[in-house]
Structure 1
Amino acid sequence: MNNAAKKIISHDDYIAQGHTPMMAQYHAVKDEHPDCLLFYRMGDFYEMFFEDAVIASKILDLTLTKRGKTEGTDIPMCGVPFHAAEGYIARLIRAGQKVAICDQIETPEQAKQRGGYKALVRREVVRIITAGTLIEDNLLDSKTNNYLAAYVDMNGQAGIAFADVSTGEFLLQSLHSTEAKSALQRLNPSEIICKSAQDFSDDLNAISSVQPSGFFDSASGILKLENLFGISEEELSKNFSRAEIAAAGALLHYVDETQKGQIPYLSAPKRIENFKTVDFDPSTFRSLELIKTQTGDRQGSLIDLLDIAQTGAGSRMIQSRLLSPLRDVAEINRRHDEIESLIAAFDLTRNIRAILKMVPDMERALARLSLNRGGPRDMASIRDGLHYASLIRAALIEKGLSSSPLMRCCDLLHLTDRQHEYKERLTAGLSESLPYLMRDGGFIAAGFCPNLDKVRSLKSETHNHIAALQTKYVQDTGIESLKITHNNVLGFFIEVPAKRADAMMVKSGNTDNPFIHRQTMSNGVRFTTPDLSNLEREIALSADKAQAIEENYYNEFRDQAMALADDISRVARGLASIDVATSMATLAVDKSYTRPKIDDSDAFDIQGGRHPVVEQALVKKHTRFAPNNSNLSGAERLWLLTGPNMAGKSTFLRQNALIAIMAQAGFYVPATSAHIGIVDKVFSRVGASDDLARGHSTFMIEMVETAAILQNATSKSLVILDEIGRGTATFDGLSIAWATLEYLHNTIQCRGLFATHYHELTQLKSQLPHLACYTMDVKDWKDEIIFLHTVKAGTADRSYGIHVAKLAGLPETVLDRAEDVLRLLEDSKARGGSGAVAGLPLFTTPSAPPKPKISAVEQRLSEINPDSLTPREALDILYSLKSL
C-alpha cells in the first residue's frame, strides 16, 4: 500500500532493539502495511497487537488482553479463530477498515528442517482485503455491484476507472472534473483510489484510498493495459483519454498490490459514453430515491420495487439499467420489444423464471477461480450455469423466439463446442456432494479416474484390511482378546491384556516373532508388526495420493475455465439479460404497466400516470392510487403547479421523473399510456435538506442545486422543481422563483414541472406563452377539506395551510388564533393596506377553549332524577349506562 512516508525497519533492526523474534517479525510486516489491520497467523488464530488490537476489539466486541511487554509496557492483543475469520473480517470492512492477512507460509516442521528447533515460522501477507476488492459471497451483496474506482484529474479533465473485481466488469469514463461526483455517485463505488481524501470523502459513502502521484501515470497505465489485455498503445490512445488510461493504470496497480500479484479476471475495458445515457446530478439521485430512500434504506426505493430478478446477476443488471437510462431510441425500443415478446408468451416467461431460480452466480464464481480462491462449488456453479443457459436457449428456440427481439439473448446464451465439452467433463468429473475448499477433497466423482478409485479403495477399506490382520494375529497367537486399534500418538497398534503379553515378547534368538513391543500400560501391552506398519504407511500415502490426484484435476478444471473465461462471461451476461427481460415482463403484467412510446420528439404525454412506489405502498393498505395526466408537449411544455401541502404535489412531480427514467431504462411504466421524446438530463429538486456539517443552510443548498439546474439543463431536459425560494424572506423568495421560472421558459425552453406556494407566479401565464397553470384538486365537504390527489387545470383558490395544521394536531387555541390573524391579513390586503402585521396586538387574549362536547353518559345522567328512582330502576339505569 502507500508506504512512501515511512522508513521500513528490518527484522534484524527490531531484534537489535530488544524485541523477541516473533514480535520483530510482526513489526517488520506491520511496517509494510501501516494503513491496514494486520491479521497475524499464530497457530489456529489470527492475532492483532498494539493499536490494531485496540481498534479491532472495539469494532468486534472482543476482549482486549495482552501478550508480553515492550519497553516495560504491556502489548495489547486480541484474536479470532482462523476458521471463522471471514465473519470478523466482514465486520471490519463494513466499519471502513482494511485488513492484511499474514499467513504462515511453511509448517513448524519445515521451519525446524530449515533452521533448527528455534527457527521462526515464515509469515507473509498473502492478501489485503479492502472494501473494493471483495470476492467472497458472504462479504458481498448478491444484488449489487461492488465497484472499486480510481479517479484522476488532469487540469480539469477527469478520468475514472471502475472495476467490479467480483464480476470482471471494467469500465472507463472521461468527463469534466465538475461532473465527477455525479458519475461516481451513479455507480456508487465502495472504495475510491485518489490522490487526496478530500476529493470525495465528504460526499460519497466510499472509502478513500489515497495513493502517491506515481500511481496515476498514463505511460505505466498503457503498459499495464497492453500486458493484461493485449491492446496496442495506438488503439488505447485512439479509444481512451490520457486521464482514463492513468486511472485504469492506478486501479490495476492497486489490485496487483492488494492481491499480491494475482490479477483477477477482468473483461477488456469498455468506455462509458456520456452522450449515450441520461444524466442526473446527486440532488436528483437523492430526491428520486432510485436505489435508497432519504434515510439510506433500500426498502421503499424504486429499485426495491423493480428488482424481482431470480439471479444476482439479473438484479445487478436491473440496477445498472435504472442508473444509466439510454438516449438511444433504437436500443430502448429493442428492450421494450423483448418485454413485449415475453408478455405475449407469458407461459414461457414463467417457465424461464423457474429455471433462472436455480441459476448460480457464474460471474462471481469465475472471479474467485481466477484468483485461486475458489473451490469445487465454484466449478459446479459454472457447470450448472452453462447447463441452464442451454435449457433456456432451447426453450426460446422451441417457441420460435430465436429470431425475434430475443435473438440477442439467444446469441449470448449459445455454448461453443469447447464450452459443451467443458460442461460435460465437469458433469462427469464432479461428485454430487462438494466441499467448499479443494483441500477438503472428495470432489472428484467415483468412476471418473480409475487410479483415484484404487487409491481411495485402500482408504475406504481400511477397516476390512485391519480386521483381516486382526483375525490373522488372533489365530497365530491364540489370544482371543487381541485387538488392533488407533490413536493420534502411536497410530495403529496391537493391544493385548498384560497377562497374555509374555507370549508375544521377542525371545532372544527368536527371529520368527513379528511382534514388536511399543508400550506397556497398567492393564495392557501394545505391539506393532512390520505388516501393520506397512499397511499404516500405505493408508497414509493413499490419502496423500488421493489429494494429489484431486488437486491435479482441480487445477486442470480451473485452467480450462480461465481459458474459456470470455465465453463464460458472455453466457453469464445472457442469463442476466433474459432474467431482466422476464422480470420486467412479469412486473408489467402483475402491476398493469404499459409500454411507453419513445422517439426523438419533444413529446411528454403521460396519461393515467402513477408513482410506482407510492402505489405499491397503498396496495398494502388496500387503498387505490389516484392516477394523473401530464402533457408537457407542444404549447404547454412548462407547468406551474399550485395547491396545498398533503394534496400530492411532490408525489406528482416525482412520478413524472420516475416514469421518464423507467421508460428510457427500457422498462414498462406505471401509466395508461406514455409518449416520451428522448430526455437527455433529468433534474429533480424536491424536498429540503440541510448540510450543517459544512455550514450550508437549507436555502443555500436550495440555491446551489437550482444553480446547477439552470447552468446544465438543455431544451431536451426534464426539470422538476418544488417550492423554489421558500427558504428565505417572502419577497426575496418570490423574486427568485419568478426569475427562475422565466429563465426555464425563455432561455432553456425545456419541459418541466414547477410547484410553488407563491400564487403571484400564476400572473406569468399571460406573459409566458408555453406556461400552463394546474392545481391539486380539493373538495370542501361539511366544513372538512378532502384532498383528492388529482391534478386539474387552474390555480388554487387558497392554501389550506391551517387545515393541514389541524390535521397535524395543533391545539385549538393556536388554530383559532391563526384564523383570526389570517382574516386580518386578508382584509388588509384586500384594502390595499400594508400595516396589518404591525397592527396585530403583541398580546392577545387567547380564544376561549371550546366547550367540551357532552358525552352520551353525561346527557343521560342529566335527564335522571335520582330521588324518584326505586333501587331496581337505579340498577337498571346503571347497567344501561355501562353499555353506552
Structure 2
Amino acid sequence: MTPAQKQYMELKSQNKDCLLLFRMGDFYEAFFQDAKTLSKELDIVLTYKDKNCNNPTPMAGVPFHSIDKYLPKLIQKGYKIAIAEQIGTVIPGQLVKREVVNILTPGTFLDQENKDYNYICAITSFESNEGNYHIAYGDFSIGEYFTKSFIDFEKFLNYIIKLNANEIILDIDFLQKQELKEQIKMYLSSLINIYDIPYDSESFLKNNLNVESLDGFGKSLSNPRDKSFAMLLNYLLNTQKQSLKNINKISYISEDEQVNLDQNTIRNLEIFKSSYEGDKKHTLFSVINNTKSGMGNRKMIDIISNPIKNIIKLNKRLEHIDFLKNNEELCQNLIQEIQKLNDIPKIISSIIYKRNSPVLRAKLKNSLSTIFNKEKSKILEYIQNNNFENININQEKINKILNFFNKIDIAISEQANENEYIKEGYSEIIDNARNLANNSSELILKYQQEIVNHTKVNAIKIKYIKNQGYFIETSKKDCKDLEKTSNVNIDKFDFVRVQTLKNQERYISTYLQNIQEEIFKSKEKLVQEQKKILENLLSDITILNQDLNELSEGIGFIDIFTNIADLSNKNGWCKPTITDIDQKKIDIKQGRHPVIEKYLPINENFVANDLFIDEKSTIQIITGPNMGGKSTYLRQNAIIVLLAHCGFFVPAKTAKISIVDGIYARVGSGDIIAKNQSTFLTEMIELANIINNSSEKSFIILDELGRGTSTYDGVAIAKSIVQFIAEKTKAKTMFATHYHELIDLEKKYKNVKNYSVAVYENQKEVVFLKKIVKGGANKSYGIDVAKIAGLPNEILNNAKKHLKDFENNKINITATPLFEFEDKSKQDNEELKKIKNELNNIDINNITPIQAMQILSKLKNI
C-alpha cells in the first residue's frame, strides 16, 4: 500500500462502522470495500489503482465542492460517514496529515431542506421509583432535547416507535437490547448503535453543560435520566469532534400533562400516513398543516403528536387563534412575513457545526431583516404583545438580537456568495484587495495592448493556467519580432522565454510577474480579511444561540396560530369549549371529517353529524350498512377530540368537549406479516392495549371488532368488550358493528345507547343517507354494497336467494370446529403429576447443556 492508503486504513480501523471519505486534493476518495459501497450507492465509477497488478486497489471518489449533493443520499440509506480532512499545510512530496473531523449519521445530519424533526434517541434501563426504562432524545439540528421514564415495557416501546427516530443508541448493558432491537426493526428503519454510558454521568454532564449543578434542569436530568442524556451527549460529542454549542433546551416529558395517543391510534386515525399505500397526502396532518416555515412545521408535528390536557394552555392557544381569525388582515400579513423566513435554528446549527458559511449568514441576516423591519414587521410586534408557552422573549433578549442583526447587516452583503460577502465600505483593506482582485483582467488587458503597441505584433495574448500562472504567448512566426523588441532595462518589455510548444512560444516579464504577485496577494488578502470578520461574528451567534432559538419557537407558534385561523375562516371551523367540570360530556354539533370533506367531489357536500355523550350514554353502539359512514363518523369524532386537545379549532358548528386522558382508536384491519400476526390477532393485541390502558376519562372508538374470526366467536368477544367497558372502564366509547345482537345491551345497561346510519329504501333502490339517528339497525345491506362495487347480477341475485333462505331458517348455519380434542385429563393425571414434579425440581440456571438434554429425554419418556 502507498503511505496515503496506509493512512486511510489506520483511520478506517478507528471508525469501522463508518464509510470513510478521505480528502485528497479536490476529491474525497474511498478505497477497498468502502469504494465499492460508494460506487454502488451513488452510481459513480469504480476505478482501480495499479490495475495491472494481481490485487488492484478499488477506488471511488466525489469532488469536494459537490460533496453536499452526495451526502444526503448516503444518509438516507442509513450509513454513517466519517469525513477525513487534510490538516495543516500541504507540502509537495510529503504525506499530508489527515484527521476525521466529523462523523455524519442519520441522527446528526444537518439538512437545511428537511422541515420535520430529525430525532436521535438514547435508551437505558435502571430500576427507579419512576420506572425501569429511560430515554433521552432530541433534534441535534435545532438543539432541543427531552427525557422520559417508563414503568411498562410496552408503553416504552410504543413511545419509541411513535418518535420515529432516525437513529437509536442502546446502552451496552441494556438487558433486553436484543428483544428491543428486533421490535424496533419491525416498525422502524432507524440506525441502531450500541454504546457505553460515561463513567460518573453527573460530573460528565456538569463539565460539558458548563454548570455547577444539575438541579437547574429539574426532573429532566435527575437520576437515572441523567445517564440516558449523558450517553446521548457523549455520542454527539464523539461524532461532532467538538463541544456542543447549541443545547437550547432539555425538558422532562411528564405523564401528568399529556393525553395518551399511541402509535396504533396515530395510524388508525391516519394522522401522518393514510392506510392507502402510506400516502401522506390524504392525512389529517396534510389537511391542517399549511405552515410556512420549518419552525412552524416542526411545532405542528409536536403538538398533534402530543396532545395535552392542560386547560390553561389549551385555552391560551385557542385565544390566539380566535384573535387572528377575527383579525384577518393581521393574520394574512403575518403569514406573508413568515413565508419570507428561513429555518433560523437549522441555519445556526449549520453555521456552528457544518461550516461558517457566508451564504448561511446572509440567509440569517435576511430573516432577521424581515423580523426587525421597523415599518412593516408584524411578527416582532405580535411577539412583544403576547405570551407563549414556556417562552420568555423579553425586551432585553430582543435588544441583544437586534444589536447582533445591526452588526451583520452592516457587514454581510445581501447577495453574498462563498467568495465575496463583506459589504463594500465596511473595510478599506477588503475594498482595496477586492478592487485589485476583481479588476485584474482589465489590468492584464491594458498591459497586453501595451505589448502589442510596443512590438507591432497583433497576435500576442496574455494567458493564465492554474499551475503556471500568467504568461505571454505568441506564434512561432511572430516570436522573433517580439524578441527583437525585448529590453532588459524596461521591466514591461524584458521578455524571457519560459516554454516552447509545437506552434507557440511562451514568455514572462518582470512587470507581469509583479502584477501576478499583486493579484495573488490581493485575492489571498480578500479571503483572509473576510474570513476574519466572519469568525468574529461566529462568537456572537454562539452566545445568542439560545435567545435566537427562543425567538424561533415563538415564530413557530405564530405560524401555527395563523395557519389554523386561516383554515378555520376558509372552512367554517369553530372554537371548541374545553371543560374539566363535566368529565363525561362531549357535545359536538354538525361535526365533519376534515380529510374526507376536503377531497369530496365539487358537486358533493359532506353530511355533518352530531355526537352527544353524557353519563347516560357513555357507550354508543352504532349499527348500519357498510358504506353508510360508520367508520367516518367514528374517526371524525376522535379527530375533533384530538384537535381540541391540541388547542385548535375543530370542523364543527359547535363543540363542547370534556378533558380526556387518552384517545384510542381501533379501526380497519390488516396483517402484520413480519410479526407473524393475522388480522384478528393484530386486532386483539391492539384491543388489549386499549382495555389495559384506558380509564373513565378516556375516549375510545372501536370499529367492527371480531370480524376476523367465526361469527359466534366474534359476537361473543364484541359483546363481552361492551359489557366490560360498561361495567368496569366506563370510558366514553363509540362502537360500530354489524353484529345486531349487540343492540339488546341497551336494555341491560343504563349507559349504553343505540344509534344507526339512516337508510332510504323502497322497492327500486337503497340510498345510504350517511346520517346518524337514534335506534339500532336491523339490516346490513351487504348485497346493496356489493351492487355499488359492480359485482355481476348473477352473483347478486343468487346472494338474495341465499339471504332469504337464511332468514326463513330454510338452511341451518352451524359452527363446526376445525379441531376436536378428546378429554384425557383424568386418565393422564398421574403422568402429568410426574412431569410437574420433574419440572419443579429443575434449576435451569445451574444445569449444563448435557444435563438439559438428559432431562428433556426423561420428560419425553414419561
Q: For the superposition of Structure 1 and Structure 2, which TM-score range results when normalised by the shorter chain?
A: 0.7 to 0.9
Which of 603, 609, 612 does residue 591 from structure 2 map onto? 609
Aligned AA for 2:576? P
Deviation at 1:384, TM superposition (A): 2.5
Which of 665, 683, 686 does residue 702 from structure 1 map onto? 683
Specify the SS of the correspondent of 2:372: helix
Q: Which moved more, 1:314-323 or 1:32-41?
A: 32-41
* 1: CA distance, partners of 2:521 / 2:599: 65
* 2: CA distance, partners of 1:837 / 1:189: 47
CA, structure 1 residues 725+231, in 2 after alignment: closer, same or farther (shift >3 Å)? Answer: farther
Q: Is the 8 Å Cα contact of residues 138 and 145 (structure 2) preserved in structure 1? A: yes
CA, structure 1 residues 395+441, in 2 after alignment: closer, same or farther (shift >3 Å)? Answer: closer
1:211 counterpart residue number: 194
Specify the SS of the correspondent of 2:780: coil
Aligned AA for 1:698? T
Specify the SS of the correspondent of 2:229: helix
Q: Is the 8 Å Cα contact of residues 355 and 392 (structure 1) preserved in structure 2? A: no
Q: Is the 8 Å Cα contact of residues 638 and 771 (structure 1) preserved in structure 2? A: yes
Deviation at 1:504, TM superposition (A): 4.2
Deviation at 1:745, TM superposition (A): 1.2
* 2: CA distance, partners of 1:728 / 1:664: 36
Which of 527, 551, 554 does residue 574 from structure 1 map onto? 554
Which of 148, 156, 180 does residue 173 from structure 1 map onto? 148
Deviation at 1:392, TM superposition (A): 8.9
Q: Which aligned pairs between 1:853-868 and structure 2 lie closer than 5 A?
A: none
CA, structure 1 residues 512+136, in 2 after alignment: closer, same or farther (shift >3 Å)? Answer: closer
Which of 525, 529, 540 does residue 545 from structure 1 map onto? 525
Which of 743, 746, 750 does residue 727 from structure 2 map onto? 746
> 1:227-249 CA deviation, whole Å, 9 max, x = no partner?
22526144457553433211111
> 1:303-333 CA deviation, whole Å, 9 max, x = no partner?
1011111112111111111111111001100
> 1:428-464 CA deviation, whole Å, 9 max, x = no partner?
21123211xxxx3210011111111122222233245
Q: Is the 8 Å Cα contact of residues 631 and 667 (structure 2) preserved in structure 1? A: yes
> 1:813-844 CA deviation, whole Å, 9 max, x = no partner?
33233222222221128xxx956799xxxxxx
> Percent of aligned pairs with the same residue?
31
Which of 294, 298, 303 does residue 280 from structure 2 map onto? 298
Which of 635, 653, 671 does residue 654 from structure 1 map onto? 635
Quick check: which has more Rg, 1 or 2? 1
Which of 733, 752, 766 does residue 714 from structure 2 map onto? 733
Specify the SS of the correspondent of 1:665: coil
Deviation at 1:368, TM superposition (A): 0.7
1:872 counterpart residue number: none
> 1:314-353 CA deviation, whole Å, 9 max, x = no partner?
1111111111111100110000000111112111111111
1:859 counterpart residue number: none
* 2: CA distance, partners of 1:433 / 1:797: 72
Aligned AA for 1:538? E
- Residue 154 (str. 1) matches residue 149 (str. 2): no
2:842 counterpart residue number: none
Which of 163, 166, 183 does residue 138 from structure 2 map onto? 163
> 1:520-572 CA deviation, whole Å, 9 max, x = no partner?
56776544333332222111111111110000011111111111111111111
Q: Is the 8 Å Cα contact of residues 501 and 525 (structure 1) preserved in structure 2? A: no
Specify the SS of the correspondent of 1:266: coil
Specify the SS of the correspondent of 1:280: coil
1:722 counterpart residue number: 703
* 1: CA distance, partners of 2:700 / 2:492: 101
Q: Which moved more, 1:188-197 or 1:354-363?
A: 188-197
Aligned AA for 2:372? S
Q: Which aligned pairs between 1:282-681 and structure 2 lie closer than 5 A?
A: 282-294=263-275, 295-391=277-373, 403=385, 411=393, 416-435=398-417, 440-466=418-444, 469=447, 479=456, 481=458, 483=460, 485-488=462-465, 489-494=467-472, 497-504=478-485, 514-519=494-499, 526-600=506-580, 601-602=582-583, 603-618=585-600, 620-681=601-662
Q: Is the 8 Å Cα contact of residues 226 and 233 (structure 1) preserved in structure 2? A: no
Q: Is the 8 Å Cα contact of residues 362 and 413 (structure 2) preserved in structure 1? A: no
CA, structure 1 residues 33+197, in 2 after alignment: closer, same or farther (shift >3 Å)? Answer: farther
CA, structure 1 residues 24+815, in 2 after alignment: closer, same or farther (shift >3 Å)? Answer: same
Aligned AA for 1:228? L
Q: Which moved more, 1:146-155 or 1:597-606?
A: 146-155
Q: Which moved more, 1:416-425 or 1:320-329?
A: 416-425
* 2: CA distance, partners of 1:392 / 1:189: 41
Q: Which moved more, 1:647-656 or 1:498-507?
A: 498-507
Q: Unaligned stretches of 5+ in structure 1?
A: 1-18, 839-884
CA, structure 1 residues 707+471, in 2 after alignment: closer, same or farther (shift >3 Å)? Answer: closer
Q: Is the 8 Å Cα contact of residues 172 and 244 (structure 1) preserved in structure 2? A: yes
1:193 counterpart residue number: 169
- Residue 793 (str. 1) matches residue 774 (str. 2): yes
Specify the SS of the correspondent of 2:610: strand
Deviation at 1:400, TM superposition (A): 9.2
Deviation at 1:389, TM superposition (A): 2.4
Deviation at 1:395, TM superposition (A): 5.6
Deviation at 1:765, TM superposition (A): 0.8
Aligned AA for 2:726? H
* 2: CA distance, partners of 1:837 / 1:823: 20
CA, structure 1 residues 809+170, in 2 after alignment: closer, same or farther (shift >3 Å)? Answer: same
Q: Is the 8 Å Cα contact of residues 641 and 755 (structure 1) preserved in structure 2? A: yes
Q: Which moved more, 1:164-173 or 1:22-31?
A: 22-31
Deviation at 1:164, TM superposition (A): 0.8
Q: Kindly report the root-mean-square deviation, in angstroms, between the aligned alpha carbons of the 2 structures.
A: 3.0
Q: Which moved more, 1:81-90 or 1:577-586?
A: 81-90
Q: What is the total number of aligned residue pairs between the two structures? A: 798
Specify the SS of the correspondent of 1:635: coil
Q: Is the 8 Å Cα contact of residues 277 and 326 (structure 1) preserved in structure 2? A: yes
Please report the TM-score for the alignment, with normalisation by the length of structure 1: 0.84
* 1: CA distance, partners of 2:628 / 2:796: 20
Q: Is the 8 Å Cα contact of residues 220 and 226 (structure 2) preserved in structure 1? A: no
* 1: CA distance, partners of 2:791 / 2:371: 62
* 1: CA distance, partners of 2:242 / 2:272: 35
Aligned AA for 1:485? I
* 2: CA distance, partners of 1:683 / 1:666: 19
* 1: CA distance, partners of 2:427 / 2:571: 54
- Residue 126 (str. 1) matches residue 101 (str. 2): yes
Q: Is the 8 Å Cα contact of residues 409 and 577 (structure 1) preserved in structure 2? A: no
Deviation at 1:70, TM superposition (A): 12
CA, structure 1 residues 389+471, in 2 after alignment: closer, same or farther (shift >3 Å)? Answer: closer
Q: Which moved more, 1:627-636 or 1:665-674?
A: 627-636
Aligned AA for 2:541? A
Q: Which moved more, 1:153-162 or 1:794-803?
A: 153-162
Aligned AA for 1:612? P
Q: Is the 8 Å Cα contact of residues 222 and 236 (structure 1) preserved in structure 2? A: no
Specify the SS of the correspondent of 1:124: strand
* 2: CA distance, partners of 1:223 / 1:775: 62
* 2: CA distance, partners of 1:761 / 1:412: 59
Q: Which moved more, 1:44-53 or 1:645-654?
A: 44-53
- Residue 243 (str. 1) matches residue 218 (str. 2): no
Q: Is the 8 Å Cα contact of residues 261 and 307 (structure 2) preserved in structure 1? A: no
Q: Unaligned stretches of 5+ in structure 2?
A: 172-176, 817-862
1:882 counterpart residue number: none
> 1:479-503 CA deviation, whole Å, 9 max, x = no partner?
4649561322543334563232443
Q: Is the 8 Å Cα contact of residues 484 and 492 (structure 1) preserved in structure 2? A: no
2:247 counterpart residue number: 266
2:830 counterpart residue number: none
Q: Which moved more, 1:197-206 or 1:441-450?
A: 197-206
Specify the SS of the correspondent of 1:636: coil
